[in-house]
Structure 1
Amino acid sequence: MLKLLKSTAFRLSLIYLAVFAVFAGLLIAYLSWNTWVIFSRQLNNTIEAEVQGLAEQYRIGGTLRLIQVIDKRTRNPSSSLYLVQDPQGNRLAGNVASVPPATWDADGEDELRVTYDRFDESGATRHEAVVQVFLLPGGFRLLVGRDIEERQRLQDIIWRATLLAAVLMIVLGVGGGYYVSRRILARIDAVAETSRSIMAGDLSQRMSLSGSGDEFDRLAASLNEMLERIERLMHGLKEVSDNIAHDLKTPLTRLRGRVEAALRAEPTEVGYREALETTIEESDRLIAVFNGLLMIARAEAGASGASFATVDLAEAARDVVDLYEPVAEDAGLTLEVDAPEDVSIEGNRELIGQAIANLVDNALKYGRPDPEAPDSEGRGVTVAVRRVGPRAEIAVCDAGPGIPPAARGKVVERFARLEESRSAPGAGLGLALVAAVARLHDGTLLFEDNGPGLKAILDLPANGAKPAAS
C-alpha cells in the first residue's frame, strides 16, 4: 500500500481528482448562486405585484375594501402572506397570526426577513418569510410577504446533492486512482521483474504484452526489439570470441613454432631469412583478419561518422573489375561487368567498393565451374548493376557449386566457413562485411541460384535516398 501511495499514477489521480473537484465545486456554486438570484428576484417581483394590486384596491375602496380583498385571498392556500391590523394591534384580516413587534418599524423596506406564526397553526412551528410593511391612514398597518420555505428547501436540496456528489467523487476518484495505480504498478513490476532476470544473465526473457496496444505495450515491444538485438549481439560476440580463439590460435601457434624452430636450427642467414619471411606472411594474414573485423565494426557503427555522398555503382563495379582482372586471368576465369546504365545511390564510396570487391573475391575463389561440365568452358564471373524501381541491385554471378539454401543465413556470420577443413585462404569475414555494409545503407544481401552457380545480390535503396544510419 505504501508503494502504491508513492506511485506517480496514484499521485496523478489525486491531482486530477482535486482539479476536477475544484472545477465541479465552482460550477455547483455558480449554479446555486444563479438559482438563488433567480428565486430572490421572482420572490421580490411577486411581492411587488401583490403590493401594487392591494394598493389599487385601497385606492378604490379604502381600508374596508382592502380587508375584504385580503380575506378573500387568504381563503386560497398559497405562499403569499397578508396581515391587516388596527391601531390597537388587533388582526383584522390575513393568514399571519403574529410577527415580531420590531417588524412594524421597517415601513417600506424591501427584502425584510422575519419569522412568523401561521394563523391556522398552533404556533409551535416558526416560519420564515420576506415581507414589506406599510402604515395606512388612521393607524392601520398592512403586511404583505412571501414564505421562503420553498427557497430554503431548494437550497437544502442543492447542498445535500453537492455533499453527496463530493462524497461520491472522492470515493470514486480514490477508488479509480487505486485501481488504475494497481494496474499500472502491476505492469511496471512485471517490467522490473523481467529486467532483474535479464540482469541476472537470462537474455531470453522478454517484456510481457497485454495486447491492448497502449503505451506500455508499445514500450514493451520496443524493449523486446532492443533485447533481441542485444541477445543477437551477445551471441555474435560469443561466436566471434570462439572463432577468434579457434582461427587465430592455430596461426599464432604455428608462427611461434617456426620462430622457435629457426632459433633451435643452425644459425644461418638463409634460415633466418626464410623464418622472417614466413613470419611476415603469417603476420600479414593475422593483420588481414583484424582489419576485416575492424571494417565490419566500422560498418555496423555507421562507418564511424564517414560522410555519405552520391556513389555511381556502375563506376564502382568497373573499378573493382579492373582491379581483379589479373586475379581472374591467373585463375583461368573470365571477369566481366554488365552495367548498361548509371545507377547512383547515397552511400559511403569506400565501403560500397569494399563490399563489391569481397563478393568478386569470393566468386573467384569459390565460384570455379566444374571442369567436367560440358558448358564449363568460357564461363566465369559477371558483375551486373541494375536499377529495379526504387532499388539498386549489384549482382555478382558465378558458375561454381553455389551455397546450399540451408547455409545461406550462416555464411554472413563472422568467421563462417562452409569448408570444414579451412584449408582454403580466407578468414570467413568477407560476406559478414558485405552484410554489415548492406545494413548500414538500409539494404540487404541476398543469395539466389544462378543455374549453375550462385548469384549474390547487394540490394540498396536508389533515388538518392539517404540511409537512416548516416
Structure 2
Amino acid sequence: MALFGTSVLLLLGFIHWSTAGYMVRQTDAAIEAEVVGLAERYDRTGLPGLTALISERMAREPNGPVIYLLADRRLHPLLGNLSRWPQGEEPRASWLSFRLEEDRGAAKKGHVARARLFKLEGGLNLLVGRDVHELEKIQQLIVSTLAWGLALTAVLALVGGALLSRGFLRRVESINDTCREIITGDLSRRIPVSGAQDDFDQLAGNLNDMLDRIEALMAGVRQVSDNIAHDLRTPLARLRNLLETLRGQTQEEHNRELLERAVSEADGLLTTFKALLRIGQVESGSRRAGFQEVDPAELLRDVIEFYEPLADEKEQHIETHLLSAPKLRGDRDLLFQAFANLLDNAIKYTPPQGRIWVALSGTRVIVADNGPGIPPEARDKVLQRFYRLEESRSTPGNGLGLALVAAVAQLHNARIRLEDNEPGLRVILNFPETSG
C-alpha cells in the first residue's frame, strides 16, 4: 500500500505541477504581452500616449481582471485602478505578488494579484498585472481533488491490500496447519490445492509429491522394522521357552548358570523388539485416538512409588517438587512409560548415595540427577534409536529408552530438552496447555 500510495502521490504531484503550472505560465505570458504593448506605445508616443492607452483600457473594462498603476519615483500613484502602491512591495523585483486591499469592489477586495514591474524614463514605475483569484480557486480545487484522489487511492489500496494479504495469509496458514499436523506424526496429511493453478498450487503440488515420497519411504522403513521385530520375536520367544524347559531339566550347576545367562539374553532381545514395536506404534500416531485427561502429578507419584525400591537399593534419595498443575490430554500408559524411562535412566546412571530430583511446575516436567551427565554434542543423538555413549555400552540397556521418550513427547506435542545439571543431567519436558 505504501509503495502504491507513493506512486500515486508522485503521479498526482506531476498532474498538479503540469496543470497549475501551465495556468500560471499562461497568466504570466498574458501580463508580459500587456507590458510589451504598453512599452511599445510609450516608445512611440511617450508618456501622453501611454496614459491615454491605459485610460482607454480601464474605461473599456472598469471591473476587469487587468491591473494598471503608474507611479512616480516615490511610488505616489499617478494613474491606474489601484489607489496606492502595494504595501511592502518595493520596486526592485520584476514580478510582484500581493493582495488587493483597495476598494475595487467588495467581491474583489482581498484577492491575490500578480503583476510585472516596468521602469520608465524619468523614474516612473509602471505596474501591470492581473487578478489571479480565479486561478487560485482553480489551483485549490485541483489540490483538493488530488487530495481526495490520494485519500481514495489509499483507502482502496488498504482494502485491496488487506483482501490480498488475507487470501495470501490464509493459503500460507493452510500450509502451516498441514505442516504442523505432519510434524506431529500424521504423514497422511496433504496441503490443500485451490485449483487456481497459481504459484501456491504449484508449491502445494510439489510439497505433496515430496510428502508422498517421504511417506512411502517411512512406511517402507517402518514396515521392515516391524516385520523384523515381529518375525524375530516369535522364534526368540520359542527359544526362551526351550531354554526355560532345558533349565528345569538340567541338574548341573554350571549348565544351569549358562542357561540362566542365555534366558537373560533372550529376555533382553525380546525387550528390544518390544520397544521397537512400541516406538513404531507411537510414531505412527495411532495412539492419539485414545487420548484422555491425565493428572501429571498423580502419574509422577505412581512412577516414583514404583521406582523407589530400586533407588533405595542404591541408597539414592529422590526429592520431589510436585506442584498443582493442569491436566494433560494424552495417553496415560505412554506418559507413564516416558516418565518411567527418565527416572529409570536417572537411577541407573546416578552413583550410589546420589540425588535425583523430580519436579512438576505447570505443564513442565523435570527429571534431574547428579550423575555423570551427557556431553552437549551427544544430547541430540541420545534421542535416536540405539545410540549409546561409549562409557554406557558396558551397562545393561538397548539405547531405546530416550528414543521412546522423544516419540511420546512428539505424539503429545511436547518439547524435550536436555541440559547440564552441574553435575548430572536435567531432562525437561514442556507440554502444551492442551496436548493432542
Normalised by the size of structure 1, how large is the TM-score?
Answer: 0.43
